[in-house]
């Protein structure tokens, strides 16, 4: 079993392409369909920390729920954003790839290469 995890939405072409890229590198990741099995609060915090980016970068801003819930307000805390993401997993941006080398939001998918082992 690989030590690579992809938080995946099979309906998303970027997510499918990121999964294909990982497989092209000879890895078979653990696939988490996050809409069915969302990450926990602790997992979301750990993923954000591993990306080196603010947690806000993991929020999908193109969803109607984003503006409807006022998630564009810069004063919202990480915990408030996580509450929204847990209540509506569609707000979690994808795909997210986690490896022992770190985590990346694979947008563009080439960002995955930053955390994959060398071929």
119 part of a folded domain: no
Domain that holds residue 103: 5-111
- pLDDT value for 86: 96
17 assigned to some structural domain: yes
In-domain check, residue 116: no
Position 1 scores a pLDDT of 52
Domain count for the chain? 1
CATH of the domain at 58: 3.40.30.10
Low-confidence ranges of the chain (pLDDT < 50): none
DSSP string, 71-112: TT-TT--HHHHHHHHHH-GGGB-S-EEEETTEEEE-SSGGGG
- 41 falls within a domain: yes
In a domain, 34, yes or no: yes
pLDDT reported for residue 99:
96
Q: Within a domain: residue 53?
A: yes
- Give the pLDDT of residue 56: 96
Which one from 3, 5, 12, 63 is the annotated catalytic residue?
Answer: 12
Q: Please report whether residue 30 resides in a domain.
A: yes
Q: Is residue 55 domain-resident?
A: yes
12 given a catalytic annotation = yes
Helix axes 78-87, 41-51, angle to 10 degrees: 120
Asked if 84 and 78 touch (Cβ cutoff 8 Å), the reply is no
What does the pLDDT read at residue 117? 85
Burial of 43 (0-12, 13-18, 19+ CB in 10 A): middle
């Amino acid at each position: 079993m690989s030590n690579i995890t992809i938080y995946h939405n099979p309906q998303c072409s970027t997510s499918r392409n990121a999964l294909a890229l990982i497989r092209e590198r000879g890895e078979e990741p653990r696939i988490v369909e996050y809409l069915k099995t969302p990450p926990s609060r602790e997992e979301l915090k750990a993923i954000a920390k591993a990306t080196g980016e603010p947690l806000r970068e993991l929020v999908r801003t193109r969803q109607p729920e984003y503006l409807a819930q006022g998630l564009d307000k810069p004063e919202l805390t990480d915990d408030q954003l996580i509450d929204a993401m847990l209540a509506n997993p569609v707000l979690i941006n994808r795909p997210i790839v986690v490896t022992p080398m770190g985590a990346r939001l694979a947008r563009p998918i080439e960002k995955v290469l930053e955390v994959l082992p060398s071929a």
